[in-house]
Amino acid sequence: MKYSYFPKSCAVILGLCASAAGFSQHRTANEEFTMALTGDSIITRKLSVYDEPDYLQLIELVRSADVAFTNLEMLFHDYEPYPMAESGGTYMRGDPELAHELRWAGIDLVSRANNHSGDYGTLGLQLTTKYVEEAGLVHAGVGMSLAEAREAKFLETPKARVALISLASSFSDHMRAGRSRDNVPARPGLNPLRYKTTYLLPDASYQDLKKTGDALGEFTDQDGEPTGTKEDAPDEMEIFGRNFARGDEARIQMVANEDDVAEIAAVVSNASRLADFTIVTIHAHEDAGTRDSTPEFLTLFARAMIEAGADVFVGHGPHALRGIEIYQGKPILYSLGDFLFQNETLARLPSENYERYDLDENAHIADFNDARYKNDTKGFPAIPEIWEAVVAVPTFRNRELTELALYPISLGYGQPPQVRGRPLMADSELGEKIIGDLQRLSKPFGTDISWRRGVGYVELNNND
Residue 54 and residue 439: Cα distance in Å, rounded?
24
Could you tell me the residue ranges of all domains in the chain?
32-193+259-343+383-462, 196-252
Q: Which helix (H) or strand (E) holds 403?
A: strand 400-410
- Contact of 368 with 345, CB cutoff 8 Å: no
Q: Which helix (H) or strand (E) holds 450?
A: strand 449-452
With vertex at residue 279, the alpha carbon angle to CA 147 and CA 168, rounded to the nearest 5 degrees, is 55
How far are the Cα atoms of 77, 265, 396, 441 from residue 138, in angstroms, in the given order? 18, 21, 21, 31
For 387, the 3-state DSSP assignment is helix
SS (H, E, C) 268-327: HHHHHCCCCEEEEEEECCCCCCCCCCCCHHHHHHHHHHHHHCCCEEEEECCCCECCEEEE
- The pLDDT value given to residue 228: 59
Q: Alpha helices, DSSP H only, in 202-295?
A: 203-215, 258-272
- Contact of 333 with 323, CB cutoff 8 Å: no
Write out the chain's pLDDT in tens, 464 residues: 333 333 333 433 334 444 444 445 555 445 899 999 999 999 999 999 999 999 999 999 999 999 999 999 999 999 999 999 999 999 999 999 999 999 999 999 999 999 999 999 999 999 999 999 999 999 999 999 999 999 999 999 999 999 999 999 999 999 999 999 999 999 999 999 999 999 999 999 999 999 999 899 888 888 888 875 655 578 899 999 999 999 999 999 999 999 999 999 999 999 999 999 999 999 999 999 999 999 999 999 999 999 999 999 999 999 999 999 999 999 999 999 999 999 999 999 999 999 999 999 999 999 999 999 999 999 999 999 999 999 999 999 999 999 999 999 999 999 999 999 999 999 999 999 999 999 999 999 999 999 999 999 999 975 54
Q: What is the CA radius of gyration of the chain?
A: 24
- Distance, first Cα to last Cα, the chain: 59
For 37, the 3-state DSSP assignment is strand
Q: Which helix (H) or strand (E) holds 439?
A: helix 428-442
DSSP string, 163-186: EEEEEES---GGGB----BTTBPP
How far are the Cα atoms of 207, 219, 328 from residue 235, in angstroms, in the given order? 10, 14, 37
Closest CA to 336 of 297, 383, 390: 390
Closest CA to 337 of 406, 251, 263: 406
How far are the Cα atoms of 64, 197, 203, 219, 249 from residue 234, in angstroms, in the given order? 59, 18, 12, 13, 18
Mode of pairing for the β-strands spanning 195-201 and 236-239: unpaired
Closest CA to 332 of 320, 318, 314: 314
How far are the Cα atoms of 203, 206, 396 from residue 249, in angstroms, in the given order? 9, 11, 44
Closest CA to 319 of 378, 388, 382: 388
DSSP state of 98: H
Give the total residue count for the chain. Answer: 464
- Contact of 369 with 423, CB cutoff 8 Å: no
Q: What kind of architecture, by CATH, is found in domain 32-193+259-343+383-462?
A: 4-Layer Sandwich (3.60)
pTM of the model: 0.92
Residue 81 and residue 132: Cα distance in Å, rounded?
17
